[in-house]
Amino acid sequence: MSQTPHARDRTAPWYSIPAREIVTVEHPCVVKNIDKGIETLSGNGGIPRLLNPPRQDSSINLFLSPEDGMSRPLSSICNPANNILLKITVPKRTGRKRKRGSDEPFTNDLNDVEEASEPASPTTSRSSATVPSRALNARALLRRLQDNVGKYEVEAIGCVERMHNFRGMPDFVYSTISSPFMTKFRENVLPFRYDKLKEFQFDMTKGSTSNVDIIPPPALSRGDAPFNYLYRQNPTVKQSIGPSGEITTTNTQQIVKVLTHLVACDVPSVPTAPRENCPPIHTLDKPLQETIAILQSLFETRPAWTRRGLRNHLTTNEQKYALRLAVPYVGYIFRSGPWRDAIVKFGHDPRLHPSSCVYQTFMFRTLPSSITEQLENDHAGTPAPRNTSTTTSVSTRRKTLPRASATSTGGDQSAATRPSHIFTGQAPLPRDGKMWMICDITDPILARLLKPPAPPPSPSPSSEAPSPSPSPILAACDILSSGWYGNVTLAVAKTIMRAKIQHMLEHGTTPAAAMEEDFLPLLEFPARVGGDEEVGRKCAIGPGAAGGGERRVSSRCMALAAEVRAMVRGAPGRKVFLERGRGGGDGGDGDDGRGGEDGGRGKRVKWEDEVGGVGRENEDEGEGEEEMGESGEEEGEEEEEEGEGEGDDVEMSGL
């Protein structure tokens, strides 16, 4: 193009760019042979597809081994570009050289003279056409431009609008040269010729077990992008010097391992002392020693406690924080059975003493207080208050934080100062735990059921109130579910207690007298029943029930009775006792003395919920579970910390 007078005054020349579309390919290999480099791009139409793509952002394939039809190609990423391709022509080197900065005459370079004097053979001329014999790098090109100022020519070839680059990782390569099937497939199928395709046949031989030809999959790797692992040093791990002087790493936030005895309900014998690897008491911190002394004095008053009951007897926050570390020095914990999560004094086995029935635990699932307050505020349309109480966290994991002994949700002064491990059946409900011991239950109707008074010498015939069984304690202990109580007695107590807890959670008030009257028919159930037929016959109320008469009962009472029957049928290990003939021996007031048909006879079936250690025949299984409990210290401690917060003994999900 012609330059205007104004353009001639500029120092930089002007160039015209022809209307030619150019595509740039960043080849991942070092291309020394242009023909082979183009051959790697021949897949999917090759160069025509590269220059005339169906879409502007269409990718191209690059085969690192174009001769292998089984190789997986690399896909490119098409990016828009705005570059210009320049052709720069510099004078050919004469081969004459002299020392830089000197006035010596130029001398010929023997290497350049020999190369210039060599005759061009057919192969040499072809290779020189494909790639220059002396390819120039950027440094050599810049040096030539500096040596030939004003003697080189620049030409704009065209504009680069698209650029293909390969950033993915190539797939793994599985050699199929020694595979007979792939060799035959490569020769007959890949050429895509009909006459060759007719020669391809499958080997229909059956039963080949040696030298089996394994065909590799089309792709061995699912992704081609490298994963960024972001490796970095753990900020809590520090270097320290060990006892012998070596440099070791130490985790400054490592959780302290609590060496608590966690035993199963069928363990043959209970622990009698702390673990041997527990540090001596005199080497512990002073707050921890004080906490251990307080716990030892509390266990002198009674042999079993709940964790919340022990916490309520501690006065300072340091002692409450140290409670978790002090428990291994004073007692052990049952992780299953009637005394689940109860902290029992060393050497005391509640399964051998009927008087220990009052130390059995009831566990319920309730919503944390923060969630309940949020639900109440959602219904009221008011913002949520600040969480000022020390109740269970919203997370499912319990946190070892000091908890207040009384709730801060209002109520009279006596209720506000009442220990939270005592269940009286009166509002407000303590919100710092979900487990109670029977000896800590002072609700009148529950105490009447679980701890009945001595029967009067001459009962009055005019009394209309039903009286429970004279003694709810059994002659044998059910170590799996009901303990020293009958299965029906325990199910009725849990049902009544859960109904009261639900009422106090939903309404925040003490259950009314009408609700208390709905509990009275449940007290007439026998202490223990056997088979399913006996459960349905003796644990029913209403006009159609046995001994029910024409008395009218409410729908709530009917629902509570149905819940009792479901709880009795679903008790852990109940079918084990029925199959071993123990369901009728201790069972209630059966007419035939067998405790139901299911308990007296039937096929011997090994149920899925059968637990080892019940009876003398499974003594070895019980010992195996004891060893698992002794070795699994870290897992057991996690169960201990979450026990009160996530009990599955009685659910609070509704009827």
- pLDDT range class, residue 599, cuts 50, 70, 90: very low
pLDDT at 148: 79
Measured distance CA(44)–CA(56) in Å, rounded: 16
**pLDDT at residue 184 is higher than 60:** yes
CA distances from 534 to 253, 449, 544, 583 (A): 57, 21, 15, 11
pLDDT at 633: 40
Contact between 611 and 573 under an 8 Å Cβ cutoff? The reply is yes
Q: How many CB atoms lie within 10 A of CB 572?
A: 16
pLDDT at 598: 40
Question: Mean pLDDT throughout 430-438?
Answer: 88
pLDDT at 43: 61
Compute the half-sphere exposure of residue 106: CA atoms within 13 Å on the CB side of its CA.
Answer: 7
- pLDDT range class, residue 463, cuts 50, 70, 90: very low
- pLDDT range class, residue 70, cuts 50, 70, 90: confident
- pLDDT range class, residue 251, cuts 50, 70, 90: confident
Question: Mean pLDDT throughout 169-182?
Answer: 88
Q: What is the dihedral of CA 305, 309, 314, 318, to 10 degrees?
A: 90
pLDDT at 9: 58
Query: Please, which residues have CB within 8 angstroms of residue 449's CB and are 6 or more apart in sequence?
Result: 468, 472, 489, 492, 493, 496, 523
Measured distance CA(291)–CA(281) in Å, rounded: 11
**pLDDT at residue 329 is higher than 70:** yes
pLDDT at 469: 46
Rounded to 10 deg, the angle between the 317-326 and 286-301 helix axes is: 70
Query: Please, which residues have CB within 8 angstroms of residue 460's CB and are 6 or more apart in sequence?
Result: none
Nearest to 343 by CA among 234, 479, 471, 437: 437
pLDDT at 106: 65
Contact between 574 and 586 under an 8 Å Cβ cutoff? The reply is no
Nearest to 14 by CA among 23, 24, 5: 5
Nearest to 450 by CA among 495, 409, 418, 516: 495
pLDDT at 23: 92
Measured distance CA(568)–CA(574) in Å, rounded: 8
- pLDDT range class, residue 157, cuts 50, 70, 90: very high
**Secondary structure tally for the chain: helices H, strands E:** 22, 17
- Phi, psi values for residue 157, rounded to 5°: -80, -45
pLDDT at 373: 54
**pLDDT at residue 387 is higher than 80:** no
Question: Mean pLDDT throughout 513-517?
Answer: 86
Q: How many CB atoms lie within 10 A of CB 552?
A: 8
| pLDDT tens-place string over residues 573-586 | 666 555 555 444 44
Contact between 56 and 173 under an 8 Å Cβ cutoff? The reply is no
Lowest average pLDDT, out of 197-206, 255-264, 317-326, 416-425, goes to 416-425
Task: Work out the mean pLDDT of the chain and round it to a whole number.
Answer: 74
**pLDDT at residue 63 is higher than 60:** yes
**pLDDT at residue 570 is higher than 90:** no
pLDDT at 586: 41
Question: Mean pLDDT throughout 143-154?
Answer: 81
Question: Mean pLDDT throughout 538-554?
Answer: 67
Lowest average pLDDT, out of 34-48, 134-148, 231-245, 540-554, goes to 540-554
pLDDT at 340: 93
**pLDDT at residue 386 is higher than 60:** no
**pLDDT at residue 495 is higher than 60:** yes
Measured distance CA(243)–CA(584) in Å, rounded: 64
Question: Mean pLDDT throughout 338-354?
Answer: 94
Of residues 23 and 634, the one with the higher pLDDT is: 23
Measured distance CA(653)–CA(655) in Å, rounded: 7
Question: Mean pLDDT throughout 147-159?
Answer: 86
- pLDDT range class, residue 297, cuts 50, 70, 90: very high
- The two tokens of residue 326 are 């002090």
| pLDDT tens-place string over residues 87-106 | 988 887 666 677 777 777 76
Contact between 188 and 199 under an 8 Å Cβ cutoff? The reply is yes
Measured distance CA(474)–CA(462) in Å, rounded: 30
Of residues 127 and 150, the one with the higher pLDDT is: 150
**pLDDT at residue 1 is higher than 80:** no
In the chain, the percentage of residues whose pLDDT exceeds 70 is 67
Lowest average pLDDT, out of 52-56, 262-266, 361-365, 463-467, goes to 463-467
Question: Mean pLDDT throughout 508-523?
Answer: 88
The distance of Cα 437 from the centroid of its chain, to the nearest Å, equals 32
pLDDT at 322: 92
Of residues 328 and 608, the one with the higher pLDDT is: 328
- pLDDT range class, residue 543, cuts 50, 70, 90: low
Rounded to 10 deg, the angle between the 555-569 and 487-507 helix axes is: 130
| pLDDT tens-place string over residues 397-406 | 444 444 444 4
pLDDT at 10: 64
Lowest average pLDDT, out of 109-118, 245-254, 483-492, 634-643, goes to 634-643
- pLDDT range class, residue 551, cuts 50, 70, 90: low
Residue with tokens 């859960």: 498
Question: Mean pLDDT throughout 110-114?
Answer: 49
**pLDDT at residue 134 is higher than 80:** no
Nearest to 275 by CA among 329, 316, 228: 329
- pLDDT range class, residue 654, cuts 50, 70, 90: very low
